[in-house]
Structure 1
Amino acid sequence: MKSCCLPLSTPGSLRSARLWPRLALLLVLLALVLVVLPGRVGASERGEVLIPIHVAAGTNLIHLARDYCHTPGDWRRIAAINKLAEPYLIIRDTTLQVPLSLLIVEPLTARVAAVNGPVSLHTADGRTSPLHTEDTVAAGQTVVTGPDGYTHLILPDNTYTRVEPDARFTIAYLFRLADGTIKADFGLERGSLVHWVRQKLRANDTFRTRTPIAVTGIRGTEYRLKTEEAEANTVETLRGRVQVAAGGRTVALTAGQGTRVRAGAAPERVRALPAPPAGETIEPLYRTLPVQIDAPAHATAKQFRLRLTNDDQGQATAIDQTTAAGSAFTIGNLADGRYFAFLTALDAEGFESAPTGPMPLTLRTVPPAPLITAPQTNGTLWGTSGRIEWLASDQADHYQVELAADAGFTRLLDRRDVREPRYTTPELAPGAYHVRVRTVAADRFETLFSMPVAWKLVPVPDMGTMEATANTRPVLQWPAMAEGWHYDLQVASDEAFTSLVYAREGLATTSCTLEEQLNPGTYHVRLRGTFNGEPLTPWTPPQQLTIKPKPLGWEELLMGVVTLGIILL
């Protein structure tokens, strides 16, 4: 269990050629640390940062100094700092505090794997710049996320940290020792983060996060650390084991456990996290925005949290929402693509479950569902068939049209694939009908159906004999469309009704005598039903009105005889 006293003589100086350059680098690193987190990085001697070194079996102070320090003679200072007296015995599997300036270190950085929303980098000399993917974050630098900002940091040895919105996260120190182990110490001033250490740490590895209230340390795990409350921290272990130290007491959390630490107090009792929620309300494919996802049923949850990420590890966050139990998530701003959903439950005290996920989720809104332009909802079409039109899509290979006798489309009358953005129904009896359309892309992707349009098919009103002579005023008659309706009437010399020769609005009867005689020729007549001055139907299809020349009278006959006589003479 113990290592022996030091021998009277010590080994010669090792690595002396590297002493001063490395010492200068370490002093710069130390200055950064002290500026960013003064007095919070670790125990100190005259302001120096002390690094915990694990005592391995079979070592002693001389060996420890030889293996980790610039000079073997540094054992004396290590002994003084740790209050060791002769015979300078050290016990294996304990920890000694060693000044950072004495250690041979290789400075390391964190790589930025993903950034979403406003995230900035603050350096010890007061500079601030936006943080971008593939940037690096070094010791003494601080990452600050905005209200909707996230960043995913990759640390050495496949360790990950996700910094969540409204957070201030500092790397106090991050380096590799001469034996290859890694020392990492972070500060979380506010906000929340998730640490994920994928493999168990070695005995001399250190991975700690400090808040103004507590210190957490792990050996290989995944856990959340939250500082939403000014006077309290929440720690939730998702995998592995976490130690939480505060108020002179340390508690251990295993997977599925959490605790809360309040300022100046020891960690509260360990409690079980809520059970992970079921994910059956999340569909694999959504075709339109906003995306609506119902919160699942859960025995104890008061809220649910949904994260959509760009990766199946859940690190590169795209969307993060919270909703109350019994309600739904509404995602209104999301680009088309493939995502992974992670769903958690929060109980009445705010403790959050382990996530359910990843659940693949694809959003594809292009091409969109068609927009029917004719007929209008509850509109009227005249004749024995109807013509349906919608806006064309350049993403469409073809369209699928459904015609039904009911709004639920259970009584289909026709289903047809068409290439053009229009469709003419088969011959139909007068009545009410429903139509809807969807787009089919070249890769066979089908959009949602359009909003169904209800419409009526009505026979063209029979206006009787549409003939008159030029010396009479035409009388037009038609059957009533509905009780209490009025009618608009137009007569034109062209089918486009650009040259009107007669027009009336708001006719209260189903007949009209034109007020003027018309010249011989062919005219076009149409009408529509109105109520309180508002049109209720489209114009009927044009019907032809023929005006014949008036019959010859005795004056015309006499003139003809005279004219003929003159010609014969």
Structure 2
Amino acid sequence: MPADRRDSSRHGRRRAAVLAGLLLGWQAGVLAGPAGADGDRFIHVVDSGDTLIGLADRYLGDARKWTELQRINQVADPRRLPPGLRIRIPLSWIPTRPAKVRVIAASGTVRLGDTPLRPGTQLDEAARVVTGADGRATLELDDGSRVALPPDSVVEVSRLRVFARALLQDAVLRIERGGADASVAPNHNGVGRFEMRTRTMITGVRGTRFEVEASGAESRSTVLEGRVTVAARRGSQEVPDGFGIAVGPGGRLAPPRPLQAAPILQPLPARIYAPSLNVAWQPAPGATAWRVSVSRDSARTEPIWSATMREPHATPAGLPHGRLYLSVRAIGADGFAGYPAVAPLDVKLEPAAPFTLEPGARTRHHGSAITLQWAAVANASRYEIELARDAGCAPVEARETTAEVSWQVPLAPGDWWWRIRSLDADGEPGPWSAVLPFSISPAAPAAAVTGDDGAVLRLGWGVDTTVAKPAAYRLQLADDPRFAHVLADLRSTEGEAAVPRPPAGDYWVRVARIEPDGATSPYSAPQRIALPAYLRDAAGNPVRATDAPVRHGG
């Protein structure tokens, strides 16, 4: 049998054995030390060297109360406790003091009652946090436990205390709507009481990572690490990691269901230079959807983007600069989200891409060169620019690295695309700017006199047959170089034009291209022409010698 099939078979047998044990009411031992609450009693699992006197002092603040612990736990020898023994202590006996919970992340619409909630806010007991359709929040307790609230959730901090002597957390959260993802006691110092309650279910922590969801009359608890005790109106159940359990409308606990395995992610880029990326993973048998999120931490307690996908791909967007973590979880037909596949994302958005000035998007320019311009970026040492003939910038036709904020580059006529990015002091780039299209057309040609018979003045200009022909040319003739007094203004589809000959003197002529889309190029540099005086007859017509008019004084 192939190795992968043997592993899968062993994994299946293990799950079946665990599930069978659960259905028989089996409970496995837990690590020694504080192990959370069971109903209204706190559980301490005896470690080597523990005594009832020491436990009474540690939790009750009075070593003399060891006799009461002996009575309710029916311990024969208070000085010799067998390791693994579960000592039950009524929570009402344990002195507590008020604690705090801090908002360490909040995005979108997040409110404390009617007040917008901001990171850094300290919450007291009875605080009620509401996340909107775009809202997410992460709460952190004194012991480092974190609770991440997804969009459309309402969660009340019903109890927020800490054991006065043992300094263990004593917290109860009530989920009125939506859900919560808890990472409890990350420092592995043990759990006092940590419960998340819905209308139909109480989930108490025995481990470190679980989720609770409330939707109408149904509630769900998913255990990813450690174990929890789930209590409902009609029974209770200990649920280990790798399983989920649901409570239906009647308060009946459904049998625990094994969770989906972590999906296999497609390779991700080593570095991401954009606030979004496409991610994909291999579909797996039994998965009907996938829960995808991006968080600031690998434990997924500070989500910044999340979505449920029906296909095995997603495009997280709005990502910030820095190290982030992608998480993908398969959702089975039973609605439980399985183990996460977690991968780091190195998003580099700094130095920011410069603000581009010239050329603007979809603008037309005339000539054989163009000057690219952009605004300076404060923490950039240099800039890298690319020019290409297509929007994908492949292949790159021209590339430049400069510390300046402009670059003049010769370009052939046609359509072009350009983009720019900043480089930091180490030469590491930030993201590219948007790719901006522009076009280059030939400069307008210069005009000259091609014919002068004394009555009609013919003007011509060279036409470059290697470039696209314009729709027309526009010619102007003036008696001053600034063209304040235009004598002739006409269009021509060819490379020449005729105008009535003005009197002898100095004149200026210029030409512009009119492109097929109606855009007009800048005029060519004004060309000075000197028209001589001709001898004329009584009717004012030029006097001719052979085919040419005779110049006055010539």
Compute the TM-score of the two structures, normalised by the length of structure 1. 0.68
* Equivalent position to 1:142, from 120, 124, 128: 128
Q: Secondary structure at the match of 1:514?
A: strand
* Equivalent position to 1:106, from 88, 97, 105: 97
**Once the 2 structures are TM-superposed, how far is the Cα of residue 194 of structure 1 from its aligned partner?**
1.5
**Once the 2 structures are TM-superposed, how far is the Cα of residue 523 of structure 1 from its aligned partner?**
0.6
Distance 2:148 2:253 in 1: 24
Q: Secondary structure at the match of 1:268?
A: coil
Q: Is the 1:70–1:104 contact (alpha carbons within 8 Å) kept by the matching residues of 2?
A: no
* Aligned counterpart, 1:514: 499
Determine if the alignment matches structure 1 residue 299 to structure 2 residue 321: no
Q: Is the 2:512–2:520 contact (alpha carbons within 8 Å) kept by the matching residues of 1?
A: no
Q: Secondary structure at the match of 1:474?
A: strand
Distance 1:492 1:331 in 2: 58
Distance 1:508 1:354 in 2: 72
Q: Flag the 1:317–1:423 CA change in 2: closer, same or farther, 3 A.
A: same
Distance 1:484 1:414 in 2: 27
Match runs of 1:333-352 below 5 Å: 336-347=320-331, 348-352=333-337
Question: How many residues are aligned here?
Answer: 480
Determine if the alignment matches structure 1 residue 360 to structure 2 residue 360: no
* Aligned counterpart, 2:180: 193
**Once the 2 structures are TM-superposed, how far is the Cα of residue 313 of structure 1 from its aligned partner?**
4.0
Identify which range, 205-214 or 130-139, moves more after superposition.
Answer: 130-139
Identify which range, 91-100 or 344-353, moves more after superposition.
Answer: 91-100
**Once the 2 structures are TM-superposed, how far is the Cα of residue 223 of structure 1 from its aligned partner?**
1.0
* Aligned counterpart, 1:88: none
Which residue identity lines up with residue 208 of structure 1 in the other structure? E
Deviations 1:66-106 (A, max 9, x none): 97399989999x99xx9x9xxxxxx9956768473x65333
* Equivalent position to 1:68, from 60, 64, 67: 60
Distance 2:250 2:144 in 1: 34
Distance 1:282 1:270 in 2: 34
Q: Flag the 1:136–1:392 CA change in 2: closer, same or farther, 3 A.
A: closer
Q: Flag the 1:518–1:241 CA change in 2: closer, same or farther, 3 A.
A: farther
* Equivalent position to 2:534, from 536, 551, 560: 551
**Once the 2 structures are TM-superposed, how far is the Cα of residue 232 of structure 1 from its aligned partner?**
1.3
Determine if the alignment matches structure 1 residue 226 to structure 2 residue 207: no
Distance 1:525 1:142 in 2: 75
* Aligned counterpart, 1:475: 458
| Structure 1: gaps spanning 5 or more residues | 1-40, 44-49, 85-90, 123-127, 557-569
Q: Secondary structure at the match of 1:367?
A: coil
Deviations 1:140-180 (A, max 9, x none): 44333333333333324332222333222323353315565
| Structure 2: gaps spanning 5 or more residues | 1-36, 75-80, 541-554
Q: Is the 1:217–1:244 contact (alpha carbons within 8 Å) kept by the matching residues of 2?
A: yes
* Aligned counterpart, 2:435: 451
Match runs of 1:106-505 below 5 Å: 106-121=97-112, 129-165=115-151, 166-176=153-163, 178=165, 182-197=169-184, 198=186, 205-227=192-214, 229-280=215-266, 282-283=268-269, 285-288=271-274, 291-300=276-285, 301-326=287-312, 328-332=314-318, 336-347=320-331, 348-357=333-342, 359-364=344-349, 367-368=352-353, 371=356, 373-374=358-359, 377=362, 379=364, 381-382=366-367, 385-395=368-378, 397-402=381-386, 414-418=398-402, 419-425=404-410, 432=414, 434=416, 436-443=418-425, 444=427, 445-448=429-432, 451=435, 453=437, 455=439, 458=442, 461=445, 463=447, 465=449, 468=452, 471-478=454-461, 479=463, 485-492=471-478, 499-505=485-491
Q: Flag the 1:129–1:416 CA change in 2: closer, same or farther, 3 A.
A: closer
Root-mean-square deviation over aligned CA pairs = 4.6
Distance 1:59 1:447 in 2: 62
Compute the TM-score of the two structures, normalised by the length of structure 2. 0.70
Distance 1:352 1:140 in 2: 30
Q: Flag the 1:497–1:422 CA change in 2: closer, same or farther, 3 A.
A: farther
Q: Is the 2:210–2:222 contact (alpha carbons within 8 Å) kept by the matching residues of 1?
A: yes
Distance 2:192 2:254 in 1: 27
Q: Flag the 1:542–1:355 CA change in 2: closer, same or farther, 3 A.
A: same
Q: Is the 2:291–2:307 contact (alpha carbons within 8 Å) kept by the matching residues of 1?
A: yes
**Once the 2 structures are TM-superposed, how far is the Cα of residue 193 of structure 1 from its aligned partner?**
1.0
